[in-house]
């Protein structure tokens, strides 16, 4: 499943799922642009890739800022070429109910998770069109399928919007050989989930038919597949990575 010679841009890649995706794509032979709003985190991941013989650069950008995103993609193109692979992983969550969520938090979640995804696609697609080949993988969530039982209406709405955007762009960009897919993970072992109280972890695991949480590596493998030539006839799809917690 060679992706050698391709440049991958991964947002929100300073830790967790994004970091795992960046490392996996580097292992597959991609040049990797590690993007994160936290410059030090992005540089640490890029340095780790370079330390094992890969090619990587850190790029800091706030995905809420169109000009910053456009500049980031131009910088990646000048430094590494491409990008031909885009993984939209940057995301935030603000927990509150319909009546308690602040308007600022609602706007902030949609700005990062959905508008940021749109901006990154818009900025990267011209380079993919020039290559007549591209892969866009959007990191959504089981929340887009079920609604968010943990009281995060903005998060669930933004992730559902990502899936709708995925389908729309898949139709629009197909003539240029660009595929657009999403993944919808649930209950992944990350730095964030490591901070869950024990009772919450037990409840989550009990709701999963496979009886465990997923790993970053399992998510990264799914993304690596969708970015590969073997996934060339898959577009407009959402791959659920949830241990059976939600089934279509």
Extents of the domains making up the chain: 7-239
Q: What is the pTM of this model?
A: 0.96
Site of tokens 């590596």 = 217
- For residue 90, pLDDT beyond 80: yes
Tell me, which fold does domain 7-239 have in CATH?
Rossmann fold (3.40.50)
- For residue 2, pLDDT beyond 60: no
Reduced to 3 states (helix: H, G, I; strand: E, B; else coil), residue 26 is helix
Maximum CA pair distance of the chain? 51
Q: Is the dihedral of CA 16, 22, 27, 28 positive or negative?
A: positive
Active-site pick, 155, 161, 213, 227: 155
Mean pLDDT of 229-245: 98
Catalytic residue list contains 155: yes
Average pLDDT over the chain reads 96
Contacts for 236 with CB less than 8 Å, ≥ 6 apart: 166, 167, 170, 171, 180, 181
Reduced to 3 states (helix: H, G, I; strand: E, B; else coil), residue 32 is strand
């Amino acid at each position: 499943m060679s992706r050698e010679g391709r440049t991958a841009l991964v947002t929100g890649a300073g830790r967790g799922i994004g970091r795992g995706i960046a490392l996996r794509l580097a292992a597959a032979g991609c040049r990797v642009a590690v993007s994160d709003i936290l410059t030090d985190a992005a540089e640490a991941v890029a340095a780790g890739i370079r330390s094992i013989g890969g090619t990587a650069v850190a790029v800091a950008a706030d995905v809420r800022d169109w000009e910053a995103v456009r500049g980031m993609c131009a910088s990646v193109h000048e430094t590494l070429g491409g990008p031909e692979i885009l993984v939209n992983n940057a995301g935030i969550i603000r927990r509150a109910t319909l009546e308690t969520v602040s308007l600022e938090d609602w706007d902030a979640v949609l700005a990062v998770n959905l508008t940021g995804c749109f901006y990154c696609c818009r900025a990267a697609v011209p380079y993919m069109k020039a290559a007549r080949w591209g892969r866009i993988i959007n990191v959504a969530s089981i929340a887009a399928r079920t609604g968010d039982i943990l009281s995060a209406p903005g998060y669930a709405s933004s992730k559902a919007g990502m899936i709708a955007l995925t389908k729309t762009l898949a139709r629009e960009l197909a003539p240029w050989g660009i595929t657009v897919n999403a993944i919808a993970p649930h209950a992944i072992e990350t730095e964030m989930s490591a901070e869950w109280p024990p009772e919450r972890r037990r409840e989550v695991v009990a709701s999963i038919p496979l009886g465990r949480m997923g790993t970053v590596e399992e998510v990264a493998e799914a993304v690596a597949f969708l970015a590969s030539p073997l996934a060339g006839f898959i577009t407009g799809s959402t791959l659920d990575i949830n241990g059976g917690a939600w089934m279509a």
